[in-house]
Amino acid sequence: MQLAFIQPGTSPSVLFLTVLAVAAAFLIVAILTRLSKRTRSRAIVRLDHFLPFVRKRRFPPGDPSLLVRCAQRLLPKHWFFNPVTGSEGALRRWCRQLGPTVLAAPLRRVIQGICFLTFSTLFFYVCWPYDARPVSEGAASPGWIFQGLDQASGEIRFSRDPVATEIANIDRIYAQSSSGTSSWPLEVISLQEGEATFSVPQSETAEILQVLMLGTSPWTFFESEPDKWPSHYADNLRAKERLPADLFLVLDPLVSISTAIASRSWVWSLSAAGIILVVCVLIPRGFCGYLCPLGTLIDLFDGTIGKHVTRFRVGIDGWWVHLKYYLLAGVLISAVMGVLISGFVAAIPVITRGFLFLIEPLQTGSLRSWHLIPGINAGHFLSLFLFVSVLALGFLRPRFWCKYVCPSGAVFSLGNLFRATERKVESSCIHCDKCVRICPFDAIKPDFTTRGTDCTLCQTCAGVCPTHAIKFVERWNTVDLKEHNVPPTGETALGRRGFLSLTAGSTAAVLGGAGVATATKVTNPDANTRPLPVRPPGSVPEESFLQMCIRCGECFKACPNNVLQSLGFSHGLGGLWTPAVAADWAGCESSCNACGEVCPTGAIRALPLSEKKDVRMGLAMVNTVTCLPFAHREACQLCVDECTAAGYHAIEFTRVGTQTDAEGRPIEGSGYLAPLVIPDKCVGCGLCQTRCFGINVEAKGLLESSAIVIEAGSGKEDRFTDAAYEEWQREREQKADISTPSPAAPIPLDDPFGL
């Protein structure tokens, strides 16, 4: 079951109700927490879920929270702190072994772990189409002759020479005449070696009977529908996608906001970004503290590797502390100029692309075959460098990226200005400094109060506070709070140094964003001098595509056989990491529409298979100079066979090189049958090019390059804006109505010939 609020086309009323439901859920939790009898401070909303600091035989004042009391009823008693004996309990001992942050806020760590595993599962399992298998074609039994109709029962009879039927005892078969292309479902009454009796489904009675009565050719029975369009890859993704594969990408607000600005259009994932920002009103910057898989990965790196390398440590006060805001400004300025660069620095695209280029090849090589890993280019190395750099920043300070650099985090920090809840410190604070040292986001000032834009309500600080002076309540709560600026923080209003820093940072953001946008436009190749890349089926027009593609790499992961591959610098900075069809490597599977299903921004439309098989990605072009039959070298029909097997029937034969006798008459059997592409039927899937390259180029060495290639460009592909797409749908439906014959009038069973 997919989440309603992140589906394209979701109505505003559904989105509004979803927001209300989420808000109501948090309010209910807050009220229940308030009713949990923790009365040491008067608060309307209390969101405490940390594990409070305890001393031997001394439990925090007040009754345990509702969450703790529920756990005590469900779990063994020896797991919990015993105030009589002073035993800390098994739960605390286990958490202590995992580290102080786990001991202080175990629920947060559990949520982080679940989200990281969910992200990994969506990426490595849901977007892993290689366990999909086509439906078995089943057995076929040819040579059946229609014998007649039992007018009383409506049963129809067939017969043939008594040989084995080749078909198992099943409830339904599909009958197809040798002169037709359509098959008809028949309900099996009896199916023996030489005789067969069927009943006709009521909805199909008139049309089937007309075909049977007027037809004379032998019939073939199939166990499965012979002319059904394959859908195993699409079915496989749909079956595994309990949650949308692009869930975390659509929850990253920078992805949708920057895409909408760059493309000057509504991006459907903006609704999900709006919802997560509304949720973060109640849990400020909660995405960073609880949900973000990149933050969890950084925590793992810092806890296993980063903590052992301290020689590069920097202080908590430097020019870099506001870098994320300047980086966010640069990304948005570039988007205003029509260039999308958020994929370089937004949190979820960074980790998605890092997993794609670093770990996915290991998955493909170990589970399939190492020779199935596509080649790499300079763009891969740049992406890996950025990904490793994000982790390596932990050598400067733990979670340095999240604190100071991440522009996605900057969006949530700005959202914190509208927070409804907040970390508060009561007057019982003894200035022990434990909360400052353990805070993962530098959200605590030297006077132990809170930097509201940085706090994620992770509650780790409260778990180490020896006097239980920290609470998480409504923002306007002022009950028994400690005095501000005690001890002095040294923080002042914007002075000369601060003004100069702000000016320099803002200038760098403007110049950087504008400079990158300009460089991207300048380096983009001219379509007249360099052929356009073949984009995935359903892609929007090229200019809009470059403005909407976030370069996350999700479509590469979901694409069977790596048909879609990442462009390097061959198409400029604008084309870097965007998907293109590598038809020499593989062709687009007719049973797959995964790329559109996992695209988080709509750069690739989510096309149903019924439409995908009609949308042109490009057009197959035959090189008549190198093609073996055209060059009179030898007969070859690889491309024709591949196109026919895929169900497109877009390549036919034409005879070339026919010789004539002395009287000028063509000699029968002379010349070659050469491929002829029918433009109206070709969708540019590339399967023909794959076959020609694999056999004639690589296996036999007859050609230096494929003699049939897929080309994109004007008149060769179908790429639509919203209005054009709707018009194309209407035209397609009209053509289908014209080509579909009108249903025959019902034929009474007592007069099957309609006489």
- Give residue 663's pLDDT band: very low, low, confident or very high (50, 70, 90): confident
Partners of 190 in the β-ladder: 197
Q: Decide which of 387, 415, 443 is a domain's last residue.
A: 415
pLDDT of residue 5: 38
- Give residue 180's pLDDT band: very low, low, confident or very high (50, 70, 90): low
Same domain membership, residue 264 and residue 193: no
CATH number at residue 217: 2.40.30
Position 194 in a domain: yes
- What's the number of CA atoms in the CB half-sphere (13 Å) around residue 632? 6
Position 694 in a domain: no
Same domain membership, residue 393 and residue 253: yes
Position 384 in a domain: yes
Position 29 in a domain: no
Position 125 in a domain: no
**Structural domain total, the chain:** 2
Percent of the chain scored above 70 by pLDDT?
85
pLDDT tens sequence across 70-113 = 777 777 777 777 766 666 777 788 888 888 899 899 989 999 99
Q: Decide which of 395, 415, 435 is a domain's last residue.
A: 415
Q: Contact at 8 Å (CB) between 402 and 415?
A: no
List C-alpha distances in Å: 273 to 26, 330, 420, 725.
18, 20, 18, 26
Same domain membership, residue 389 and residue 265: yes
Same domain membership, residue 331 and residue 269: yes
Same domain membership, residue 269 and residue 218: no
User: Poorest-confidence range of 132-141, 616-625, 647-656?
Assistant: 132-141
pLDDT of residue 530: 72
Same domain membership, residue 378 and residue 279: yes
Position 620 in a domain: no
pLDDT of residue 58: 57
Q: Decide which of 222, 255, 281 is a domain's last residue.
A: 222
Residue from 679, 658, 561 nearest 616 by CA: 679
Provide the 10 A C-beta neighbour count for residue 84: 6
Q: Mean pLDDT in the chain?
A: 84
Same domain membership, residue 407 and residue 317: yes
Same domain membership, residue 175 and residue 249: no
- What average pLDDT does this structure show over 128-135? 85
pLDDT of residue 531: 82
Q: Contact at 8 Å (CB) between 37 and 446?
A: no
Q: Tokens 């702190």 belong to which residue?
A: 81
In single-letter form, the type of residue at position 641 comes to: D
Same domain membership, residue 393 and residue 304: yes
CA distance 459 to 471: 9
CA distance 650 to 628: 19
- Give residue 167's pLDDT band: very low, low, confident or very high (50, 70, 90): confident
Q: What is the CA radius of gyration of the chain?
A: 33
DSSP state at residue 633 = S
- Give residue 349's pLDDT band: very low, low, confident or very high (50, 70, 90): very high
- Give residue 347's pLDDT band: very low, low, confident or very high (50, 70, 90): very high
Same domain membership, residue 257 and residue 358: yes
Domain coverage including residue 331: 245-415
Position 521 in a domain: no
Partners of 421 in the β-ladder: 474
pLDDT of residue 425: 94
Same domain membership, residue 258 and residue 186: no
DSSP track, 278-324: HHHHHSTTHIIIII-HHHHHHHHHHHHTGGG--TT---SSSGGGGHH
Position 673 in a domain: no
CA distance 701 to 424: 74
Same domain membership, residue 326 and residue 253: yes
pLDDT tens sequence across 316-345 = 778 888 899 999 999 999 999 999 999 999
- Give residue 685's pLDDT band: very low, low, confident or very high (50, 70, 90): very high
CA distance 210 to 212: 5
Helix (H) or strand (E) holding 132: none
Output 198-202 pairs: Cβ under 8 A, ≥24 positions apart. Answer: 198/155, 198/156, 198/157, 198/158, 198/173, 199/153, 199/154, 199/155, 199/156, 200/154, 200/156
